[in-house]
Structure 1
Amino acid sequence: MLEILRINTAEDVFLQVCEMATGLLAIGIEKGDRVGMWGQNYYEWMVIQYSTALCGIIQVNINPFYKAPELEYALRKVGVKALVTPKAHKQNKFYDVLAEVLPSITTGKAGLGTVESSKLPDLKHILVFGEKEKLPGAWQFDEIWKAGGTYELSMLDEVRSHVLPEDPVNIQYTSGTTGLPKAATLSHFNIINNSFLIGLTSGWHEENHRICIPNPLYHCFGCVIGALNALNHNQTCVFPSISYDTKAILESISKEKCTFIFGTPTMFIDLLSTPFLKTADISSLRGGYIAGAPCPLSLCKQMVDHLNMNDIYVLYGTTELSPGVSMSVQRDEPEERIKSVGHVLPSTEVVIVDNNNRVVPRGEKGELWARGYMTMSGYWGDEEKTKKEITPQNWYKTGDTAIMNENGTINIIGRNKDMIVKGGENVYPTEIETAMFKFPYIADVQIVGVPDERYGENICGWVRLKEQYVGKVNEDHIKEDCKKAMAYYKVPKYLFIKEQKDFPLTATGKVKKFELRSISKSLLGLENSGPHFSSAHI
């Protein structure tokens, strides 16, 4: 049976958010400081999202599957001052991973979360929630939640009066083409308007919904298109589980009479294939959003036919654009909506350009650029990368190949040639390659994406071993090391140990990734895979 963990009214949420904001001020967190939120879909996640926004603090979304090297980078890159996390959830041992980065916390006083570290000089506080017992080197979240007093309350009123629409409110890490994630910095103006206009386009201002949100909050899809969108339009959010669980999703829809659901293609593939669907009461469901990865048309049709999602919306965007750029519109019938990623959202400009940055006519393909109120302020601490991605005229270059049809709808026909979208997670091969090159036995590694029926794409690696390790290291050994060095979704599903002569090279000695991908598909029997799709990454 589904266990209901918490029911909160809007008033409850607001009062608790104000309490948490005063608690953060009480331990010295100030406007402009960065607070890292590291965890899955907990209520505390949303309390931090709104309490930081209330007093001008910048929330940093940290992927809960990060391993120690990735966590350390995420904390250092933007100078996180306080980190909020559970102790553990299922396979995610948050406190233990943090202890790998900061071993000194394990010898700290229980319940005292002040931190001094030369490795992470900006980090001053650790807050852990969900634990009755106090942990060494960590504040109890609930104690900080209640720590604010009359002084902090008056301080909050003063701080709030100085928070501006253009102030940064959220930092989200995006996959980096150079091997390290980039810190996309979004403002209040960016995400409040983007979420509001997405809800407006889908008619949320005209009727009430009970919205099932299984998407992870650490992604824009969950925290902006999901939670913030619902808040903007006074809708009810239902979070079925802390981590993704198809049975919990169906039980939530049935018990809470959800009318709307969000998901990536992988989530909907799982919902349609689970045996629990046969006995679930989903009669209340009327529609939903699908985004986050390439979406096969056949899947969209199944969602309409078997999940009652006649009011289906296909969305397209990217984190740097807060994230929505285009989506289906109400006036179109379901069979029309699923053929594209819809129309450009209000107050958003889109151009499709050729290799010379000239706008192409409708019906011709090119790279999609977008600009408007939703364009990020930049990558935190990376002016060079920001200038590379955003033109002087404020156009953000998505790297996606697209066509604008005569009716104004957009089709995404390709992506940045190297990026892999695995079940809604954007992964650049260089991220994995950079991590694997640190293994002592690796002479060369090349990562490509290959088709996958469930995830859309999966990860395939070609490895060349150093001579002294040939015959001593196998694929299983490498995968185990990968599991220790990177988030689970980055671990290659397929690995080939090859000799140098096996790698296809250009005349200048560079690996031909396109050819490598083609060879991999052939070796794996995936030559004819690769569905026609209508949506792209958010």
Structure 2
Amino acid sequence: MGVAKDRAVWTAETDNVELLDLTIGDMFDQGAEAVPEREAVVYKYPELGMDLRLDYRSFQAEVNKLAKGIIALGIEAGDKVAVLAPNIPEWLLLEIALAKVGAVLVTVNTGYRAAELEYLLRNGDIHTLFTVDKYRKSSFIEALDGLLPELRECRDPARDLLRTQALPRLRRVVMMRCESSYVGCLPFDQVLELGTAISDEQLRARQASVKPHDVAQIQYTSGTTGHPKGVMLTHHSTLNNALLTARRAGLADGERFLASMPLFHTAGCVVNVLSTLLHRGTLIMAVYFDARKMLELIDAEKPSIINMVPTMLIAMLGDPLFQQGRFNTRSITKMLTGGTSIPVVLIDEVHKRIGGNPMIVLGLTETSPIVCQTLPDDSFELKSTTVGQPLPHTSVKVVDQETGEVLGFDQPGELLVKGYLLMQGYYLMPEKTAETIDAQGWLHTGDLGMMDKNGYVRVIGRLKDMIIRGGENIYPVEIEEFLLGHESVEQAAVVAVPDEYMGEEAAAILRLAEGASLDEAVLREYCRARISRHKVPKYFLFVDEFPLTASGKFRKNVLREVALQMLGLNKGEGA
């Protein structure tokens, strides 16, 4: 098994690991029974009124109270329950409680606006929405008032079900952590009170009816091309992905994990939460990412592992107090990162100044999420240029996107994935599912990549992001990696812009390191001396900050609009 002799195919290996045949609820209970007095969850946010420490016994008791409340609300197995909130304690309780009763957790990006929220609530057939009244600059209650005028007519939400024209399947809105009550919304505490009427036997019976291959979550894709799609992930796929990711990272029993990724993202609720609970560790929860707060939590709570995208690591390295030596981060021994190009110099700086052994991952929502991961002992050079080898029980191949032919080593093509980790499909979108998972069971990722003779995978961009300049393919990631090697460049993104003569040209958008200056002409000569002439961007644009997703990744679609605006170009027009 492993890599083929002369083709870019990695056939799944077991690596002597058997896949778990468990539900999330049963896994959680096994851990709570094994280490009841071990610290399970820490929220150290006195400034937000959250100063919470729960051992596994207490954590289990809170989860069970909520699970009973969910049953009391009339939520059946298979019903869709959406959660729209930052990483508050209730979110974490809901992830486990909903899994216990067989309901489907539908995660909602906290950056959603009213139209996006309406689409998800309708497309996802949401039965109940758990939310907060506001977060940062978004007022979710105002959005709901606009979407659901009938909400204010629901005077007793504990007994009266919501009936709306816009969202005919929505039955309740539960409000978490709000200072005042809202007409039509059921307070979270009242859900717990309703649960007192449900017996332990009723909860056990519901939990026993849940099967490992049932859908546990629906996560909506970003939707940068067309409407977002609801990715259906099972107990089996997410639990085993968490197991295999943690195993390659060397996660040991009882480790402390600083969970800073948003819970609405698979990196948060699967990689961080499930990996930690599987290993009966401690979740040190971040309500949202803030570099200074992360440093304070590391200094005070001594986690051994973190999971952060490069933009988060850069923010921590740049914190003035950290640079003054005010925070001790040497407890960090392991680190997961990925999502964009990571130069050797950044890996080295993170390792030296923050600590830990960075490991690079490739993940997609549709694959539960991690496909490939570097090994702890891989060189920094290998970690900066690849995303490692496929995890156990995972097959990967690189094919020509036009013919489907499997390519040779180090030839660019589309990455395809097969195995236990694949989504069950897109919710209510069988045609889109068939477009993504072919008849042979291979999921077409839309990622351009290549595989070397040792099975290490390198991602060079998205199919839709590839720049075709005068008939030649240019891969943005390759140029981004090169530009990040310049000491003055802190962040780099390359996007396509229209050109009358070449069809498309590359535009490099750069953020310079603090205090650095860089002349465009000098940078152009730097590129011409080191990379092929056709790969040298036609345009170099400098910005003070990058538009990021809630999980800290570049928003390439927004960056392209920024480039077009800065260059005075309109879509479809020449330069």
Shared fold (TM-score, shorter chain, > 0.5): yes
- Cα contact 1:26–1:152 (8 A) shared by 2: no
After TM superposition, the score normalised by the length of structure 1 is 0.78
Matches of 2:58 and 2:294, distance apart in 1: 24
What is the distance in 2 between the residues matched to 1:92 and 1:245?
A: 18
Which position in structure 2 is the counterpart of 1:483?
A: none
What residue identity is the alignment partner of 1:364?
Q
Structure-2 residue corresponding to 1:494? 562
CA distance in 1, matches of 2:563, 2:464: 20
CA 12–2 in structure 1, closer or farther in 2 if over 3 Å, else same: closer
How far the C-alpha of 1:153 sits from its partner, in A, is 3.4
1:161 aligned partner? 208
Asked whether the equivalents of residues 341 and 384 of structure 2 are also in contact (C-alpha less than 8 Å), the reply is no
* Compared CA separation, residues 121 and 325, structure 1 to 2 (3 A): same
Deviation at 1:108, TM superposition (A): 4.1
Say whether 1:70 aligns with 2:128: no
Structure 1 match to 2:41: none
Counterparts of 2:279 and 2:511, CA distance in 1: 36
Shift of the 449–295 alpha-carbon distance from structure 1 to 2, 3 Å rule, reads farther
Pick aligned residue for 1:248 from 293, 313, 324: 293
Given candidates 171, 195, 220, the residue that maps to 1:124 is 171
Q: Could you tell me whether the CA contact under 8 Å between 2:509 and 2:563 is conserved in 1?
A: no
Pair 1:404–1:87, CA change in 2 (3 A): same
Partner of 1:80: 126
- Tell me by how many angstroms 1:178 deviates: 4.4
Q: Is the 8 A contact 1:260 1:288 kept in 2?
A: yes
Match of 1:200 among 229, 247, 267: 247
CA apart distance, 1:136? 0.8
- Mark the CA change 1:252 to 1:110 in structure 2 (over 3 Å): closer, same or farther: farther
User: CA 1:289/1:449 → structure 2, altered by over 3 Å: closer, same or farther?
Assistant: farther
1:82 and 1:125 in contact (8 A); partners too: yes
5 Å matches for 1:391-470? Answer: 391-418=438-465, 451-453=509-511
Taking only the aligned residue pairs, the percentage that are identical comes to 29
Greater shift in the superposed pair: 247-256 or 292-301: 292-301
For 1:269, the aligned partner's letter is I
1:464-489, Cα deviation, whole Å (9 max, x unpaired): xxxxxxxxxxxxxxxxxxxxxxxx97
Query: In the TM superposition, what whole-angstrom CA distance separates every residue of 1:169-199 from its partner, at most 9, and x where no partner exists?
Result: 1000003364210100001111000001101
Of 326, 345, 369 in structure 1, the residue corresponding to residue 391 of structure 2 is 345
Larger deviation, residues 413-422 vs 385-394: 413-422
Deviation string 1:37-93 (CA, Å, 9 cap, x unpaired) is 001111111111111101110000001111110000000001000000111233232
The residue identity in structure 2 corresponding to 1:229 is S
User: What is the match of residue 264 of structure 1?
Assistant: 309
Contact 1:211 1:235 in 2 (8 A): yes
Shift of 1:298: 2.9
- CA 1:130–1:151 in 2, change beyond 3 Å: closer, same or farther? closer
Cα distance in 2 for partners of 1:146, 1:183 equals 32
Are 2:564 and 2:570, in contact at CA under 8 Å, matched by a contact in 1?
no
1:292 to 2:350 alignment: no
SS in 1 for 2:458: strand
The residue type paired with residue 348 of structure 1 is T
Q: 1:228 aligns with which of 267, 274, 283?
A: 274
Which residue in 1 is equivalent to 2:186? 139
Q: CA deviation at 1:502?
A: 5.8
Secondary structure, aligned partner of 1:7: strand
The 10-residue stretch of structure 1 (294-303 or 103-112) with the greater mean CA deviation from structure 2: 103-112
Residue number among 137, 145, 152 corresponding to 1:99 in the alignment: 145
Q: Which moved more, 1:343-352 or 1:98-107?
A: 98-107
Inter-CA distance 334–11: structure 2 relative to 1 (3 Å threshold): farther
How much does 1:233 deviate?
Answer: 1.1
Q: 2:415 aligns with which of 368, 374, 382?
A: 368
Query: For 1:318, which of 364, 368, 377 is the aligned residue?
Result: 364
Aligned CA distance change for structure 1 residues 335 and 502 (closer, same or farther; 3 Å) = closer
State the aligned residue count. Answer: 449
TM-aligned CA distance change 1:294 to 1:181, over 3 Å: farther
Post-superposition offset of 1:356: 1.0
Contact residue 157 and residue 172 of structure 2 kept, 8 A: no
Which residue in 2 is equivalent to 1:186? 233
Aligned to 2:430: 383
Q: Gaps (5+ residues) in structure 1?
A: 423-428, 430-445, 456-487, 505-510, 520-538
Partner of 2:318: 273
Aligned residue type for 1:328: T
Number of the residue aligned with 1:25: 71
Give the drift of 1:120.
0.2
CA deviation after TM superposition for structure 1 residue 381, in Å: 0.4
Q: What is the distance in 2 between the residues matched to 1:255 and 1:84?
A: 31
AA at the equivalent of 1:386 = T
Change in 2 beyond 3 A, CA 1:33/1:452: farther
Looking at structure 2, the residues matched to 496 and 341 of structure 1 have their Cα atoms a distance apart, in angstroms, of 31
Q: What amino acid maps onto 1:196 in structure 2?
A: L
Q: Conserved in 2, the CA contact under 8 Å of 1:111 and 1:140?
A: no
Q: Secondary structure at the residue paired with 2:463?
A: coil
* Partners of 1:328 and 1:342 within 8 A in 2: yes
Secondary structure of 1:147's counterpart equals helix
- SS in structure 2 of the partner of residue 145 of structure 1: helix
Deviation at 1:454, TM superposition (A): 8.6
Shift of 1:372: 0.3
CA distance in 2, matches of 1:498, 1:282: 40
Are the aligned partners of 1:316 and 1:341 in contact in 2 as well (CA < 8 Å)?
yes
* Equivalent residues of 1:379, 1:385 under 8 A apart: yes
Instruction: Find the residue that maps to 1:412 and give its secondary structure.
Output: strand
Worse-superposed segment, 7-16 or 31-40:
7-16
**RMSD of aligned residue pairs (Cα, Å):** 2.9
Match for 1:9 among 55, 67, 70? 55
Given that 1:34 and 1:58 are in contact with CA atoms closer than 8 Å, whether structure 2 keeps it comes out as yes
* Alpha-carbon offset, residue 333 of structure 1: 4.2
C-alpha spacing 1:454/1:95, structure 2 compared with 1 (3 Å): farther
Which runs of 4 or more aligned residues in structure 1 lie more than 4 Å from their structure 2 counterparts after TM superposition?
110-113, 419-422, 488-493, 495-499, 501-504
Residues 398-424 of structure 1, C-alpha deviations (whole Å, 9 max, x = no match): 1111111122211111213249999xx
- Code of the residue aligned with 2:145 in structure 1: it is A
Q: Cα distance, 1:498 vs. partner?
A: 11
- Partners of 1:498 and 1:298 lie apart in 2 by 30
1:362: how far off?
A: 1.7
Q: Are 1:215 and 2:261 an aligned pair?
A: yes
